[in-house]
């Protein structure tokens, strides 16, 4: 059996607590929120302090994307080195699942924290993360397991076998 007036007191207690609490909203766009480290927005290239990228053009991310929105145009030179003509990515169609980042054997891409992704024109949603740049060369040492090292040497995708078994795109 409840005591008469308990509900009113509980309601007043909650009202007082919210009355004294500071605002949890921000005055966007003048103020911006700090996103949690693991939040996922658009894909971006990882670059070192000199601005160099880590992409080997192995194509693992392109094959892993369930939306087929990564399109990497690569030219293979006579010495088997690769040249990235364009590392294309359609932001507007990305569902920020992070599968491309997980598939990358070289930690060359990551999910960024930039949430201001609106563009004035639809064509601006098709962006190039890399353009006209050499891929990281086949002589580079891989830090990961031997399959990744092999991928570096041959320029192949170390996850291709697993995907084939799953019936993924080849
Ligand atoms: S986050 Fe998901 S949908 Fe977006 S590019 Fe990567 S794999 Fe594709
Ligand atoms: S190194 Fe990473 S970002 Fe570059 S093509 Fe391979 S999977 Fe994609």
Q: Is residue 22 part of a domain?
A: no
| Statement: the pTM of the whole predicted model exceeds 0.75 | no
Cβ of 58 less than 6 Å from ligand 2: yes
Residue 148 domain flag = no
For ligand 2, the distance from its centroid to the CA atom of residue 127, given in whole angstroms, is: 16
Domain total of the chain: 1
Does the beta carbon of 124 sit less than 6 angstroms from any atom of ligand 1? Answer: no
Whole domain around residue 110: which residue ranges? 35-134
- Say if 113 falls within a structural domain: yes
Q: Is residue 116 part of a domain?
A: yes
pLDDT tens string, the chain, 170 residues long: the values are 677 889 999 999 999 999 998 888 899 999 988 889 999 999 999 999 999 999 999 999 999 999 999 999 999 999 889 999 999 999 999 999 999 999 999 999 999 999 999 999 999 999 999 999 999 975 544 444 444 444 444 444 444 433 433 333 33
Task: Give the DSSP letter string of the chain.
Answer: -PPTTHHHHHHHHHHHHHHHSPP----TTTS-PPPPTT---SEEE-B-TT--B------HHHHH-TT--EEEEEEE-TTS-EEEEEEEEEGGG-----HHHHH-TT--EEE--------SSGGGGEEEEEEEEEPPPTTSPPSS-HHHHHHHHH---TTHHHHHHHT---
Q: How far is the CA of 109 from the centre of ligand 2 (A)?
A: 7
Does the residue 10 lie in any domain? no
- Domain membership of residue 139 (yes or no) is no
Residue 123 lies in a domain: yes
| Ligand minimally distant from the alpha carbon of residue 159 | 2
Q: Residue 68 domain-assigned?
A: yes
Q: What is the CATH number of the domain that holds 116?
A: 3.30.70.3270
């Amino acid at each position: 059996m409840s005591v008469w007036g308990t509900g009113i007191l509980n309601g007043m207690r909650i009202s007082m607590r919210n009355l004294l609490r500071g605002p949890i909203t921000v005055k966007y766009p003048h103020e911006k929120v700090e996103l949690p480290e693991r939040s996922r927005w658009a894909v971006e290239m990882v670059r070192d302090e000199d601005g160099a990228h880590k992409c080997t053009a192995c194509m693992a991310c392109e094959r892993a994307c369930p939306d087929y929105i990564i399109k990497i145009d690569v030219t293979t030179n006579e010495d088997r080195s690769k040249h990235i003509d364009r590392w294309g990515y359609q932001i507007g169609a990305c569902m920020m699942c992070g599968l491309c980042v997980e598939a990358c054997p070289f930690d060359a891409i990551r999910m960024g924290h930039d949430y201001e992704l609106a563009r004035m024109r639809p064509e601006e949603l098709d962006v190039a993360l890399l353009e006209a740049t050499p891929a990281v060369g086949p002589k580079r040492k891989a830090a990961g397991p031997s399959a990744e090292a092999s991928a570096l040497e041959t320029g192949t995708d170390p996850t291709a076998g697993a995907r084939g078994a799953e019936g993924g795109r080849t």
